[in-house]
Chain A
Amino acid sequence: MGITDKIYKYIFMVIAFSSFIFLTGIIIVLFKEGLPVLSSTGIFSFLFGKSWYPTATPPEFGIFPLIMGSLIVTLGAMVVAVPVGIGSALYIHEIAGEKQKMFLKPVVELLGAIPSIIFGFFGMVIVAPFLQNLFNLSTGQCAFTGALILGVMAIPVLCSIAEDALSVVPKSYREASFALGANRWQTLWKVIMPAAGSGVSTAIILGISRVMGETMTVLLVTGGAAMMPKSIFDPVRPMTSTIAAEMGEAAVGGEHYHALFAIGLVLFLITLLMNMIAEYISRKYRMKLGMDV
């Protein structure tokens, strides 16, 4: 290797570490800006405190209602997205012919590219008023609407990842099942699904993590009340929308500002954990099927 080649190699190596630097930078920033409020409020009362009054005197920083808001909306979204998303993936994988596949796969990917602000806009203008009339609610901007819209948004994500997982199940599994006299549905349900099970669960975990990090949709459709929700038709304020809605009015370096970074830290750690679990499962899955990891 010549000297120029070596120089290039080292320059490239430094640049290749940029992702690592950015990820570390994010972690450092979140800890540095979030810790002041965690130490003054106490981690326990920050996480499990039931009142979020950041601008009151004295301010109260309990994010439990925000965490509950995120959880309710996310779980609700999964109730919509998991059956429809995975059902669609199974359809594309098993029933659709080559021509349909050539159409459906790009269309699903395209639908996944629609920006979240558009879903939020749609939810706010059409879905919220509709549900308000339908269920006779005081406001259509509530956890239920948020869950519904986020669920629809998550369908393409879940469908694409699940379809990938299904497509790596070796052909021999299916042939063995057919040879034993099983029909297509039995093969799909009893052989392919269990074999792809961990891959499909990766899709669900990534879907949860994606939905939980979604900001603009919940900001526009969940109503934004930082109270403990009593029912799914109550307005909620998930963690993401709290950060987005309040950062503009929080004084830089003030307690409120730090509290919003601390929420960002909690959010980051939750999604990081879920991404790592998903990555671990999908690695094991691919190894089990004898693939390159």
Chain B
Amino acid sequence: MKINPEKTQKIGFVALFICIIIALLVLGSIIYFVFSNGITAFSWKFFTDIPRKSMTAGGVGPAIVGTLYLVLGSVLFALPLGVITAIYLCEYSPKNFTLNLIRMSINNLAGVPSVVFGLFGLAVFVKLFGFHVSILSGSLTLGILILPGIISASYEAIIAVPQSTREASYALGATQIQTIKKVVLPTALPGILTGMILAVGRAAGETAPIMFTAVTFYSRSFPSTIFGETMALPYHIYVLMTEGTHPEEQKVIAYGCALILLILVLAVSSLAIYLRQSQRRKYA
């Protein structure tokens, strides 16, 4: 039997179409399910109140604030390290061996499982440095996790700054560091910020790295110091689903937490993707 190429093509294209439909449908239904169920838990008190009646009533305010602190802390730690690493790689173009070593480290760090970061944070920040289970330990651990992403995004942004811009600055008598500060960084800033926003989305959703380093089951108050433990949204979902004695009431709150987290992550990531698209259009 002779195979008809036109027919094969038709069948093949339909198969690929089914693939993308499955992907969108399944992932879309997860988002829909979290939205439709989570929205019933929402009320003003849900965002601002502390958990009450052993996590079956009240709000998740401390978990929201805790997640914001952790995210803020991790970015404060990773952004300067990441941007300076990117500047060094682009502007000072180190010798091959150094460059390869740093690049290899970044690539492999990016592939480390998140729970292993948790182990590292536990052994180093919690125990060795004596920061205990705290916002500080958790932020540092998350910071290392998001570092590779920040470096890559900053690197792309800085390398895209046209060489002529730098030469113009040198021609005016500026030194290298002046050129970096006044010319290269301002031009690359939008790209660096995009990378930072993506990292915020990533850090907000991670659970395993903060499990042993920052979070507590249940707190009746808002976090007041970075040296204390805190509640956090993703971990709170896990706790509500696995601990406690009122699974049905807890499930409602878990839905609510999942929706807050989902909205946070999707909003932040869409913003980053949108910014990146519009920057590309500007350069193209």
Contacts and interface: CB of A to CB of B under 8 A. Distances in A.
Interface of A: 1-2, 4-5, 8-9, 12-13, 15-20, 22-23, 25-26, 29-30, 32-33, 83-88, 90-92, 94-95, 104, 106-111, 113-122, 124-126, 152, 155-156, 159, 183-186, 188-189, 206, 209-210, 212-216, 219-220, 240, 243-244, 247-248, 252, 260-261, 264, 267-268, 271-272, 274-276, 279
Q: Helix, strand, loop or mixed for chain B's interface?
A: helix
A247 B112 CA distance: 18
23 contacts: A2-B175, A5-B177, A12-B87, A15-B80, A22-B109, A32-B123, A90-B16, A115-B206, A115-B265, A118-B237, A118-B261, A125-B241, A152-B27, A189-B12, A213-B116, A216-B234, A219-B238, A220-B242, A244-B118, A247-B212, A264-B115, A264-B116, A272-B108
Q: Helix, strand, loop or mixed for chain A's interface?
A: helix
Given A85-B23, A114-B265, A12 B84 contact: yes
Nearest to B148: A19
Identify the 4 closest CB pairs spanning chains A and B, nearest first.
Answer: A115-B205, A213-B113, A87-B19, A185-B9
Contacts of A29: 119-120, 123-124
A87 B111 contact: no
A126 B36 CA distance: 13
Contact of A118 (B22, B34, B105, B113): B34
Given A1-B176, A26-B120, A117-B207, A244 B115 contact: yes
B122 interface: yes
- Interface residue tally of chain B, by bracket? 35 or more
A240 B120 contact: no
B84 A20 contact: no
Contacts of A219: 238
A18 B101 CA distance: 11
A2 to B, nearest CB: 6
Nearest to B262: A118
B90 to A, nearest CB: 11
